[in-house]
Amino acid sequence: MQQPELPSYDDVVRASERLAGNAHRTPVLTSATANAVAGAQVFFKCENFQRMGAFKFRGGYNAIARLTPGQRAAGVLTFSSGNHAQAIALASRLQGVQATIIMPLDAPAAKRAATEGYGGKIVTYDRYTEDREDIARRIQAETGATLIPPYDHADVIAGQGTAAKELFEEVGELDYLFVCLGGGGLLSGSALSAYALSPRCLVYGVEPEAGNDGQQSLRKGEIVRIQAPKTLADGAATTHLGHLTFPLIQKYVRDIVTVKDEQLVSTMKFFAERMKMVVEPTGCLAASAVLQNVVPVRGARVGVIISGGNVDLASYARLLAS
């Protein structure tokens, strides 16, 4: 197979120029309790405070900003019921582009409403009888819309890398950087920034234990596909890494570790109680590796990316009370 053209740190820098004034430069927070628990100095980059509530705005906005005038006129298309859908809907509206989002009929009403609220046009399909890729191809044929996938796309990866870039610019070099891992857009982009701005920093990906396809892929040296995992970390319930994200992870990421759903819930409670922050379960992956001592980091300077804060309030309340 032909080698794909991989994004570089230069692409992250270009992305950060496009995002300036459009994405929030999110805060980096610290907590004396977190430092005591980890025995380290921990810096949390809070993408739960990003526009639409997750880092995905960065990649979506950057990908749409890169379209030609002809592509912009034809609109964009994606399939997702999660944060990527909201990111594409909002980033499109801000740039005057029509977005069509293909969502399963049984997607949570709150997610549909959020996506529609940002101006996305929703096309639904039956997950059991219809293939979303067929529907995407039909819409593409009819409208010429550009498909923007959630992670395996150079402009998406470059956009996601801007969060870690901001973190290093703010706190300087780090010994470790922990990043949650689904399809690897955030991890591979973050690793590009780490390698450029803090070359000795050890970058770790953190996956839900039930969906450790990334860890298996790194061990095996090829992309391993798994069945859709059952985990609270719905944003990382992907079944495989991408053709762009995997080689970047192989090259720049030290290792991939896993955490259990119970550990995500403990971390979610920690953020609520100690740091007064709403973080979605997937957003707790990276922090769990540090706060639950999955990787010992005693005495080190440690960066953690909190990836998002979009939760269904009823299930959030249930998990906090558990």
Ligand X SMILES: *Cc1c(COP(=O)(O)O)cnc(C)c1O
> Which residues of this chain interact with ligand X, rule CB under 6 A?
54, 56, 82-83, 150-151, 160, 180-187, 235-236, 238, 280, 282-283, 307-308
Closest CB 184 distance from ligand X, rounded Å: 5
Q: Tell me how far, at minimum, the Cβ of 289 lies from ligand X, in Å.
A: 14
Q: Give yes or no for a contact between 281 and 268, defined as CB atoms under 8 angstroms apart.
A: yes
Contacts of 21 (CB under 8 A, 6+ apart): none
Identity of residue 10: D
Sequence-distant (6+) residues with CB within 8 A of 223 are 217, 240, 241, 242, 243, 246
Q: Which of 16, 45, 80, 81 is catalytic?
A: 81
Strand stretches in the chain, DSSP E:
28-29, 41-46, 76-79, 99-104, 121-125, 146-147, 176-180, 202-208, 255-259, 301-306
- Which is nearer to ligand X, 16 or 50 (by Cβ)? 50
- Measured from the CB of residue 217, what is the shortest distance to ligand X in angstroms? 13
Residue pair 279/26 in contact (Cβ under 8 Å)? The answer is no
Catalytic one among 16, 45, 56, 193? 56
Q: What is the rounded CA–CA span in Å between residue 57 and residue 91?
A: 7
- Catalytic site includes residue 251: no
Distance in angstroms (rounded) separating the CA atoms of residues 84 and 286: 19
- Which residue's CB is nearer to ligand X, number 246 or number 300? 246
Q: Could you confirm whether 165 is annotated as catalytic? A: no
Q: How far lies 24's CA from each of 19, 28, 61, 293, in Å?
A: 8, 12, 12, 31
Name the minimum Å distance from CB 189 to ligand X: 8
Judged by CB, which is closer to ligand X: 53, or 75? Answer: 53
C-beta of 14 vs 56, nearer to ligand X: 56
Rg (Cα) of the chain, in Å, rounded?
A: 18
Q: Which is nearer to ligand X, 65 or 187 (CB)?
A: 187
Considering beta carbons, is residue 143 or 239 the nearer one to ligand X?
Answer: 239
**Least distance (Å) between residue 304 CB and ligand X:** 13
Q: Tell how strand 301-306 and strand 28-29 pair up.
A: unpaired
CB 149, min distance to ligand X, A: 10
Residue nearest to ligand X (CB): 308
Cross-strand pairs, 100:
77, 121
Q: Which two tokens stand for residue 318?
A: 């249930």
Tokens at 140, concatenated: 């593409």
Q: Which residues are catalytic?
A: 56, 81
